[in-house]
Structure 1
Amino acid sequence: MLLLLFLPALALAGEVVVKSNYPLKKGNLESFVKTAPPEVVVKLLKAIPEIKSVELKREKGRLVILVERYPLVKKVEVKGNFYFREEEVKSILGLEEGTPLLEENEEVYEELLKAAYREEGFLNADAKVKLVKDDEGFVTVKVKVSEGNLYFLKDARFEGARAFSKEELFRASGLKRGSVYNLYAVEEAEERLEQFYRSRGFFGSFVFLKEVKKEELGRLFWRALYPEGEGFFNSLSEGLKNAFTHPLATLKALVGSGRGAVPVYEVYEGEHYEIRFTGNRFFSSEELLKAVDLNAVSVDYFLLEQARRKLLELYRKKGFLEAEVSYELKKNEVRFFIKEGPRYRARLVVNGNELTLWYDEEKIEGLVNELVERLKREGYLDARAEKKLKVFKERKEVLVEVKLEKGYRYLLAGFEILSEGFEDIEQQVKWKLPTVLDYELIEHALTEVRQRLHEEGYFDGEVSIEVETRRKGNALYFFYFVRVKRGPRYRYGGALVYGLEKTRLKEVSYMLVKEEYFSKEAEELSLWHLVESDVFKSARVENYADRKEKKVYRLVYLEEKKRGLFELALGYSTFEGFKVGGAVVLRNLLGIGLINKNRYLKSDLYELYELALRDNFLFTRWLFGEGKLFKSYEDHAYFDLYSDGWSLMAGNRITRNLSTAFSFSSFTAETTQTEPSTDALKKLSFLFTHRKYFRLSYAAAWGDRAYSYAKLFARAGKEFRHSYGFRVKLWGGALWGNEPIFERFFLGGFKYLKGYDYESIGGPRGGTRAFYLAPEAYYLIKETFELIAGLEAGNAKNDEGKLFDAPYWNLLFSLGVRTPVGLIRADAAYPMRNTALSTGKLRFYLSVELLF
């Protein structure tokens, strides 16, 4: 029964009503149909993924919009999964809470999941999927998984193989012992093996996968940590991947209780043919074998005749015009008899200019084509070549006469856009003039003009061209005049917002850029705001131009993130010891975009309790704010710090990347050891930030102490071909007044200047001036290993004049390993300034960061 959503609208057609088979998601559809034309409503509704169809129908003097909605996934319940996380299971099935259910066949989902597990080596995996749909079109998907054992590739068998050893065939198959069993690689090995056999004269051979045997490994299987492969890093990378993605299965393999798969191939070798060439001198036998390409199931006289013709053509193209080729087939031996004869020379004559060379059809064709292309690059766009050949057998020579016809030279002499607002596009062409007539250059400029018209809301804009030509000698000069008729500029109509669950419509309105006229910049900025809010999992902004009303209507289709999230962080470093952390994140509180994050972090050097409440769009798209309650402990080299308090921050977005913010905090800080004290402080801070490149801060504190400071952090980098590049970090600061020890600067240790003792530079009381510089180059191998080489330099002093005198610096070498759940990094630093702060030896650091 159709659910009636009573959404009246007084339009030209009379009353407008929307009916749907299931309830539609929240938004502003009710108010939107009151102002937008019905055809616009239909157009935008059809663009929503969960809407299956939309129709217009007249019914009793009113206009009815009939909407058929797909069933929506309400919940996905996954049980029995260990290897694939719940989110990964959803991704495999193509299901997510709140998204449309496009396929209602349960068996399709079961096969998808079983295939995904088999691809990862779980050969016995099974899955059951049940879809439970309620009356309102919401579906609960119940998934039950039985993963079974993970199988490594233990070995392979080749039944019926006699001509080659097992290891030769294993290498030819491309399989790797110790890798996780992969069905695709096992099936691909069939073709690899057939190609291997046929390339060695077994033309009638074929190979098929007979079965896959499942066996106990039965002994220490070290290949699980170092599978066979091409090169040390490839094998090590795959071994580490096994250890982190399948830790239990890898451990079982190492102790001999794991499971191994052994594909068994049935090999029919057939008869072996020996291919021999006699009389060849110019070409090697390997080159001739490749040219004849006898990769066929069987050898017969028809195939051999084809091979003979290929050989003749090969020789004649290289100038052996008198070459002869014959063959004979005796049992399993094919012999080609070749009489090469003399090689002819070529006398190439181009418009009277002569060149003598050995006759080589491909080379001569290339020379002629190069001459024609050179003429075209010079503007002779109609240039062509006529070639005539004459053979002189007595002189063993081929006369190649080439006549080049240039035609007119086409030159672009003028380009002008006879409308304002396109001067930059016009200049891009003009600075190249005069030049060869380049249609791509002109078309690119015209495309930019049309694109700009569209981006500024001139959807009916017209671009016309007038071309004037002048002839001088054999040159034609072209003058292009571009006329732009903008037409009316389209205004913004309404925006259909759809997909809300908890978010209030007013909150979305803060994020949408509102202007009188349509612009691409407003669309892109609106989309960026929606993503930046951290409320929506996905956001899409589409527009529809109403040619009658000269308005642009927007569809804002949204999918909200889960409101609750639990984070778990684990790690270890030689600097901080074991680390553990957890966070509970509550998003979109009260439906107004508030995000609450409650964190706890603990290591050997610090402990933190933090409760934060953040709003990324505070009553407008320009403002954001955050409040925090915190309590922390920090273990430093010369003092311990205990602090607790609260802070409020309000910021302003200047551009997408630039922002300013003011922060006020009130806290109590207690320090022990070097300078024991307990201070109640208030601090006002100003921050100027570019999210990619720098952060500048200035703060003034008062209370039991009065002091101020300024700090700058900057970074830059360049990547080349996604595999190597360089990065540089710069940090500096200065303090003034009666500052406490915990605000002073200390360098040395894991974070800054790894070649020196922890916080030794500036100790024991700390510096009031400091700087740190760290350039480094990196190289990424197989998207897993990152090799880093660089240096660190810095200093911390109380005397500004001596800050840059004899700074501390060290060389740095690092290896990072990217895993599916985090990063492992090993660092080695060598100090280049021997002092009491360094032993003068290499220092090693290891850090592991895992996030779940």
Structure 2
Amino acid sequence: YIYIYRVKEGPVYKTGETVYYGYNKTSLRELSYMTEKSEDYSEMLNDMTLHNMLSSGIFSGVSIDTFVDREKKLVHRLIQVSEDKRGIFDLSLGYNTEENISLESFLGLKNLFGLGISSGFRYRRTGKRELYDLSISDNFFFSSRYWFKSNMFKSYEEHKSYTLDSYGSNLQLGYRITRDTSIGPVFSILKNKVDGQVFHIRKYGTFLIREFKDDIFSPSRIHYDSISFSLVEGDARYARFDLSTFYLIPMQRGLKLSFKVASGAVWGDAPIFDRFFLGGLRDLRGYSFEEVGQPDGGKYYTFGRLEFILPLREPFVGVVFGDAGSVANKPRDLFRDVKADAGGALGVNTPIGPIRLDIAFPFEKEWFRKFKVYLSVGYYY
């Protein structure tokens, strides 16, 4: 049989009034910033508005009902919200193989003055790091397109070949090109102390970030892409470029594919804390933390990771993976000494993300004696 259809364009409905219900502390102006608007009505406006309000962190529930005025060809919207608690206190105790026991606490307030502004103080302590961080942010800064983040911090880090004390502040302003993609400038003022040597520096940078999750709270598909470039002035003058992409893709019969590709470069006399190392849980798992690139770090690096996540009896999963990467001081040397590893993992899916036990073997002589074991929670971009 052959069917022939003729489709006629119907009347275009305009966006009518938007009425909000259920808000007590949030200002109408802030609600309007999160609400997507257009002269012509479409269901996409509601989808984007729902995403904006849920991702703001202000509301625990949102629903949107529409009412059609066929005579005037208008679609009116009723947006009902349930405001979340404004105060936040979180205390967590964890463990990972690289940093041993970790303690983290966070005290914050959301939706200050009804303007969607969030502020908080975070303290984190592990076997190798300590962080004090005071932050303020607004996910919808006078519109649905702009956002900003700012923080002041003090941190201490133990690395394989140096220790770093840092003090400073950062300011980041973003513009949403699409729902998942933002671009904008970054400015930082930092004081870094490395093994007795002090660097006062200023960073001027720009970034492009795309982060997509098919579910805000429990995603099965993740796309993350990040590009950044910064110029540094002060006691050291140099430029730095970073590129990273991470994908988690569901396939047939519960199988998932995950891969990451990353690279970076610095030009000029960059201090050791802004040079590159590889090795450890987040990249080359067959090598110890920051083992590749010793002793002074490299000016260039490249890295790739591929994983297949296999469903076992729920909630358990099995993983097979491979990593490869290189660090060098010249681009042409990146592929002369590539390090690689392979391994497997056993994991369990939980509401806070997958908990995994990984074992990795480097492609080296006596590889069976040089294996590394890691315990981790969540996805590492």
The structure in which a higher percent of residues are helix is 1
- Structure 2 distance, partners of 1:684, 1:767, is 22
Correspondent of 1:602 among 125, 129, 133:
125
Partner of 1:619: 142
Partner of 1:71: none
Matched, 1:686 2:198: no
Q: Is the 8 A contact 1:700 1:708 kept in 2?
A: yes
- Structure 1 distance, partners of 2:27, 2:92, is 32
1:822 Cα deviation from its structure 2 partner: 6.3
Where 2:4 maps in the other structure, the secondary structure is strand
Matched, 1:545 2:74: no
Distance 1:737 1:811, change over 3 A: same
Distance 1:722 1:501, change over 3 A: farther
Correspondent of 1:644 among 140, 149, 167:
167
Highest relative contact order (Cα 8 Å, sep 6+), 1 or 2? 2
Q: Which amino acid aligns with 2:237?
A: A
Deviations 1:675-722 (A, max 9, x none): x52011111121111102311111111111111111111122432246
- Structure 2 distance, partners of 1:792, 1:485, is 53
1:749 Cα deviation from its structure 2 partner: 2.3
Distance 1:540 1:702, change over 3 A: same
- Structure 1 distance, partners of 2:300, 2:155, is 25
- Where structure 2 has 5 or more consecutive residues not aligned to the other structure, the ranges are 212-222
Q: Is the 8 A contact 1:635 1:641 kept in 2?
A: yes
Deviations 1:200-248 (A, max 9, x none): xxxxxxxxxxxxxxxxxxxxxxxxxxxxxxxxxxxxxxxxxxxxxxxxx
Distance 1:840 1:806, change over 3 A: farther
Partner of 2:315: 784
1:561 Cα deviation from its structure 2 partner: 1.0
Where 1:538 maps in the other structure, the secondary structure is strand
Partner of 1:44: none
Matched, 1:519 2:39: no
Partner of 1:556: 79
Matched, 1:486 2:10: yes
- Structure 1 distance, partners of 2:352, 2:142, is 37
Q: Is the 8 A contact 2:361 2:368 kept in 1?
A: no
Which one is further off, 490-499 or 737-746? 490-499
Q: Which amino acid aligns with 2:370?
A: K
TM-score by length of 1: 0.42
Q: Root-mean-square deviation (CA), in Å? A: 2.0
Partner of 2:55: 532
- Structure 2 distance, partners of 1:843, 1:535, is 42
Matched, 1:731 2:254: no
- Structure 1 distance, partners of 2:151, 2:17, is 38
1:811 Cα deviation from its structure 2 partner: 1.1
Give the alignment of 1:416-495 within 5 angstroms. Answer: 417=6, 482=7, 484=8, 486-487=10-11, 489-495=12-18
Distance 1:621 1:796, change over 3 A: same
- Structure 2 distance, partners of 1:829, 1:583, is 33
Where 2:54 maps in the other structure, the secondary structure is helix
- Structure 2 distance, partners of 1:848, 1:552, is 45
Distance 1:551 1:788, change over 3 A: same
Q: Is the 8 A contact 2:246 2:261 kept in 1?
A: yes
Where 2:37 maps in the other structure, the secondary structure is coil
Deviations 1:582-620 (A, max 9, x none): 111211001000011211110011111111111000001
Distance 1:678 1:801, change over 3 A: same
- Structure 2 distance, partners of 1:579, 1:712, is 28
Q: Is the 8 A contact 2:199 2:235 kept in 1?
A: yes
Q: Is the 8 A contact 1:571 1:848 kept in 2?
A: no
Deviations 1:28-56 (A, max 9, x none): xxxxxxxxxxxxxxxxxxxxxxxxxxxxx
Where 1:789 maps in the other structure, the secondary structure is strand
- Structure 2 distance, partners of 1:782, 1:746, is 38
- Structure 2 distance, partners of 1:696, 1:800, is 19
Partner of 2:219: none
Matched, 1:846 2:369: no
Where 1:415 maps in the other structure, the secondary structure is coil
Give the alignment of 1:190-589 within 5 angstroms. Answer: 411-412=1-2, 415=4, 417=6, 482=7, 484=8, 486-487=10-11, 489-589=12-112
Give the alignment of 1:160-199 within 5 angstroms. Answer: none
Partner of 2:336: 805
Deviations 1:255-310 (A, max 9, x none): xxxxxxxxxxxxxxxxxxxxxxxxxxxxxxxxxxxxxxxxxxxxxxxxxxxxxxxx
- Structure 2 distance, partners of 1:542, 1:848, is 38
Q: Which amino acid aligns with 2:127?
A: D
Partner of 2:194: 671
Distance 1:632 1:765, change over 3 A: same
- Structure 1 distance, partners of 2:137, 2:253, is 35
Q: Is the 8 A contact 1:571 1:847 kept in 2?
A: no
Aligned length, in residue pairs: 367
1:514 Cα deviation from its structure 2 partner: 2.4
Q: Which amino acid aligns with 2:372?
A: R
Which one is further off, 625-634 or 840-849? 840-849
Give the alignment of 1:796-835 within 5 angstroms. Answer: 796-819=327-350, 823-834=354-365
Distance 1:594 1:514, change over 3 A: same
Where 1:633 maps in the other structure, the secondary structure is strand
Q: Which amino acid aligns with 1:540?
A: S
Structure 1 residue ranges (4+ consecutive) displaced by more than 6 angstroms after TM superposition: none
1:819 Cα deviation from its structure 2 partner: 4.6
Distance 1:541 1:604, change over 3 A: same
Which one is further off, 606-615 or 784-793? 784-793
Q: Which amino acid aligns with 2:235?
A: D
Where 1:693 maps in the other structure, the secondary structure is strand
1:817 Cα deviation from its structure 2 partner: 2.6
- Structure 1 distance, partners of 2:49, 2:97, is 45
1:743 Cα deviation from its structure 2 partner: 0.6
Q: Is the 8 A contact 1:831 1:840 kept in 2?
A: no
Q: Is the 8 A contact 2:276 2:327 kept in 1?
A: yes
Q: Is the 8 A contact 2:288 2:372 kept in 1?
A: no
- Structure 2 distance, partners of 1:706, 1:812, is 40
Q: Which amino acid aligns with 1:771?
A: T
Distance 1:819 1:650, change over 3 A: closer
Distance 1:706 1:549, change over 3 A: same
- Structure 2 distance, partners of 1:840, 1:709, is 37
- Structure 1 distance, partners of 2:268, 2:192, is 17
Deviations 1:805-852 (A, max 9, x none): 1300111211123356665422111111349xx895222223468xxx
Correspondent of 1:696 among 224, 227, 233:
227
Identity of aligned residues (%): 33
Give the alignment of 1:25-64 within 5 angstroms. Answer: none
Q: Which amino acid aligns with 1:542?
A: D
Distance 1:512 1:788, change over 3 A: same
Deviations 1:324-355 (A, max 9, x none): xxxxxxxxxxxxxxxxxxxxxxxxxxxxxxxx
- Where structure 1 has 5 or more consecutive residues not aligned to the other structure, the ranges are 1-410, 418-481
Where 2:75 maps in the other structure, the secondary structure is strand
- Structure 2 distance, partners of 1:507, 1:815, is 45
- Structure 1 distance, partners of 2:352, 2:49, is 33
Distance 1:662 1:783, change over 3 A: farther
- Structure 2 distance, partners of 1:547, 1:827, is 60
Deviations 1:769-825 (A, max 9, x none): 001111111112233222111111111110210101130011121112335666542
Q: Which amino acid aligns with 2:67?
A: Y
